[in-house]
Amino acid sequence: MTLRTGGRILVDQLRIHGIGRLTCVPGESYLAALDAMHDADIDVLVCRHEGGAAMMAEAYGKLTGRPGICFVTRGPGAMNAAHGVHIAQHDSTPMILFIGQVERAALGRGAFQEMDYEAVFGSVAKWVVEVHDARRLPEIVARAFATAMQGRPGPVVVSLPEDVLTDTVEVTDSSVITPVKSQLSIDQFERFQSLLLASKRPVMVLGGSGWSDEGCAAIADFAARFKLPVATEFRRAPLFPALHTSYAGDLGFGQNPKLSQRVKDADLLILLGARMSEVPSNHYTLIDRQALVHIFPDPSEIGKVYRPALGIVCSSDEFARSMAWMKAPLDLPWYLQTENAHMDYLAWTGRPPQVPGDFQYGEVMVWLRDHLPADTIICNGAGNYAIWVHRYWRHTRPNTLVAPTSGSVGYSVPAGVMAKRQCPDRSVVVFAGDGCFLMHGNEFATAVQYDIPVIVVVIDNGMYGTIRMHQEREYPHRVVGTDLRNPDFAAFARAFGGHGETVRKTEEFAPAFERARASGKPSIIHCFLDPQAITPARTLDQVAAGN
Ligand SMILES: Cc1ncc(C[n+]2csc(CCOP(=O)(O)OP(=O)(O)O)c2C)c(N)n1
Ligand SMILES: [Mg+2]
């Protein structure tokens, strides 16, 4: 055994657990860990804000199923990163946030930038730990990986006192962590089968994280054999192919009312990996009398909000695989309902209605879906601009959406930077509102610094549109705190060293997009959307008038 610094031991563990990429904003509190990264085979992305760095790490977790790793400094760095930890919690994403901490001898004195991370992150992270002995780093890092990935995945926060990282000790490395997956028992399989076969109007809802491509393929096969109508939860649309004859649509903001009704009218609701939290359940109004089968990888979610007829602790992937053993009967009474559900979905996402102004956002989305490859990765944050994205983009492959179920404004650019870094051969298109873009648009500098040619479509309606919509509905014509005066985003792109385009009319979009793609640079396409076009179906004036 050789003597190593705590920093070196830590970085060696990350490599052992398969980490080849991480994000950071530097701080003097963890210099010894940074120094160990100097010689390690690891892609270190230095970011402009810890919120962006943490969101990039979270996006890595979404894309790979392994924890996204982010290093930040104590106090202010940790607080800036908190937003990413909250996303990882709500989106069930494996992530580990490493925070530099004051040295052990100073702990508890209110030393420079000191914080109590257990108190601060205790209700957000799955586990918060402070390392007090460099010899325990392999054990603690391995447990952080296991905790982040097992059961319902989520964030772990590890506090690293500065002198733990500079200590030199002898210790054995950990071995790689493979998350334990829960399985379906024969008894549960049979009970599920009898509930399904006794039902007349079943609906399956897919959601959650931790799905593999094989798991998605297995559930698509099961749905095809049983002709089951399948919906996806808010921002989980890629779990099921949009053009599969069983696809009924997604349960996000601005749900297809026919789909909401179909879920309400079901006599059996199969929640697979889904939690049916506030957004997909339409403010907890969709689930009432249906018999529920709730399959979730963690018992703490089963029976938490709803009372299932059958609760099964099982990973979504394993459940999907087990369905290969279930034989479909010849007579499936719900067959026609499934056909109708899919027709409803196709109609809902077909020709977009006209909105006010020269920029027809829906038509632009349809052009993109007709011209981009099926494995394109779509990234967005939160805002009404995302309604068009989710409604008109049809995901036909797994893992093609990186978007926050937590409704985090600002997520779009960091997510896109990580997606394109992680998948350089795939198209990555980021959608951001004018509000969303300027929360973490500074990470466009990170895209330029590392030559990450992500394409960002900024939808500029001159306001925090979602909040304006709520404001006009609740307090008509009393606008306060929701107007935005924006910069020239195309000039912003050029100032950062990227490619910029300005689009005022629908027909300008396609050539602008092609030029952005051909530039090979990180690009911003600044699109002006009429502020009246607040949703695909309603104008702001209609909202204010209560229509
Ligand atoms: C970090 C964060 N801050 C505030 C909000 C509240 N919020 C939700 S949507 C929204 C407006 C986003 O504006 P924009 O990106 O311009 O999108 P638009 O709704 O105008 O299309 C705001 C402020 C939030 N969800 N997250
Ligand atoms: Mg806006």
For 361-414, the pLDDT digits (tens) are 999 999 999 999 999 999 999 999 999 999 999 999 999 999 999 999 999 999
* Distance from Cα 383 to the centre of ligand 1, integer Å: 5
Instruction: Decide: 461 in ligand 1 pocket, CB within 6 A.
Output: yes
Instruction: Decide: 464 in ligand 1 pocket, CB within 6 A.
Output: yes
**What pLDDT sits at residue 106?**
96
For 506-518, the pLDDT digits (tens) are 999 999 999 999 9
Instruction: Decide: 218 in ligand 1 pocket, CB within 6 A.
Output: no
**What pLDDT sits at residue 547?**
85
Instruction: Decide: 385 in ligand 1 pocket, CB within 6 A.
Output: yes
Instruction: Decide: 384 in ligand 1 pocket, CB within 6 A.
Output: yes
- Please spell the DSSP secondary structure of 425-462, one letter per residue: TS-EEEEEEHHHHHHHGGGHHHHHHTT---EEEEEE-S
* Distance from Cα 253 to the centre of ligand 2, integer Å: 16
- CA of 383, nearest ligand number: 1
* CA atoms within 13 Å, Cβ hemisphere of 35: 14
For residue 271, give the H/E element and its range.
Answer: strand 268-272
Distance, CA of 207 to CA of 176 (rounded, Å): 28
Residues of the chain with pLDDT under 50: none
Average predicted confidence (pLDDT) for the chain: 97
Candidate of 464, 468, 482, 486 to mutate for ligand 1, largest count of ligand atoms within 8 Å of Cβ: 464
* Distance from Cα 348 to the centre of ligand 2, integer Å: 24
Cα dihedral angle (236, 242, 244, 250), rounded to 10 degrees? 50
Q: How many residues comprise the chain? A: 547
For ligand 1, atom 2, the nearest C-alpha belongs to 409
Distance, CA of 127 to CA of 79 (rounded, Å): 17
**What pLDDT sits at residue 181?**
87
Distance, CA of 269 to CA of 259 (rounded, Å): 13
Cα dihedral angle (464, 411, 153, 211), rounded to 10 degrees? 100
* Distance from Cα 323 to the centre of ligand 2, integer Å: 44
For residue 26, give the H/E element and its range.
Answer: none
The number of angstroms, rounded, from the C-alpha of 57 to the middle of its chain's C-alpha atoms is 11
Query: How many other C-beta atoms can be found within 10 angstroms of the C-beta atom of residue 491?
Result: 13
Return the SS3 of 14: helix
Distance, CA of 403 to CA of 222 (rounded, Å): 27
DSSP 500: E
* Distance from Cα 526 to the centre of ligand 2, integer Å: 12
* Distance from Cα 451 to the centre of ligand 2, integer Å: 28
> Which residues, in sequence order, are CB contacts of 198 under 8 Å at separation 6+?
none
For ligand 1, atom 3, the nearest C-alpha belongs to 409
For ligand 1, atom 5, the nearest C-alpha belongs to 409
Please work out, in degrees rounded to the nearest 5, the angle formed at the alpha carbon of residue 41 by the alpha carbons of 39 and 46: 80
DSSP H helices, 112-177, are 117-121, 137-149, 162-166
Token output for 58: 């979270």
Distance, CA of 376 to CA of 374 (rounded, Å): 6
Instruction: Decide: 524 in ligand 1 pocket, CB within 6 A.
Output: no
Query: How many other C-beta atoms can be found within 10 angstroms of the C-beta atom of residue 186?
Result: 9
Residue 415: what residue type?
Answer: A
Atom of ligand 1 nearest to the CA of 432: 15
Q: Is residue 213 classed exposed, middle or buried when 0-12, 13-18 and 19+ CB atoms within 10 A define those classes?
A: exposed
Instruction: Decide: 383 in ligand 1 pocket, CB within 6 A.
Output: yes
**What pLDDT sits at residue 315?**
96
- CA of 409, nearest ligand number: 1
* Distance from Cα 535 to the centre of ligand 1, integer Å: 14
Residue 63: what residue type?
Answer: L
For ligand 1, atom 4, the nearest C-alpha belongs to 409
What are the backbone angles phi and psi of residue 503, rounded to the nearest 5°? Answer: -125, 120
Instruction: Decide: 436 in ligand 1 pocket, CB within 6 A.
Output: yes
- Beta-bridge partners for 296: 313
- Beta-bridge partners for 272: 206, 295
- Of 72, 19, 65, residue with least CA distance to 50: 72
Contact 526, 460 (CB under 8 A): yes
Contact 248, 231 (CB under 8 A): yes
Candidate of 436, 437, 529, 538 to mutate for ligand 1, largest count of ligand atoms within 8 Å of Cβ: 436
Instruction: Decide: 433 in ligand 1 pocket, CB within 6 A.
Output: yes
* Distance from Cα 388 to the centre of ligand 2, integer Å: 13
Q: How far is CA 326 from CA 192, 224, 226, 233, 440, in A?
A: 10, 12, 9, 24, 47
Instruction: Decide: 466 in ligand 1 pocket, CB within 6 A.
Output: yes
For residue 457, give the H/E element and its range.
Answer: strand 455-460
Instruction: Decide: 435 in ligand 1 pocket, CB within 6 A.
Output: yes
